Structure 1
């Protein structure tokens, strides 16, 4: 099940508003927060990007290696 709405709420709560008005959070911050909710955070992020809800660089995200990748909420 795609939990994009829940993911967006977590990003909104844990992220910071940038100069462009969008809320952003690093993958490391999001992973640490969201892993307690769901261990499928990467799959949910990929589906959220496909639906135009978030933006981030790269094709796949890996815990540890990609902790500094910024995830931006687009809605």
Structure 2
């Protein structure tokens, strides 16, 4: 058994250079803090859900409360 270490800072591909699912994961992890919308290359349900969860996590406590109330109706 071995270990693989990932240094996200060393992932330098642009959105246009992303080739496979692993690249998509690395791209998403590296750029999540700056993404305003989900890139079109990440149109699968997994990435959509990941983006939704990350967007929710960025909300303030008050914004989360308002979001939760709106979601229940």
TM-score, with length taken from structure 1? 0.28
More strand by share: 1
Larger-Rg structure: 2
Structure number having the greater helix percentage:
2
Higher relative contact order (CA 8 A, sep 6+): 1
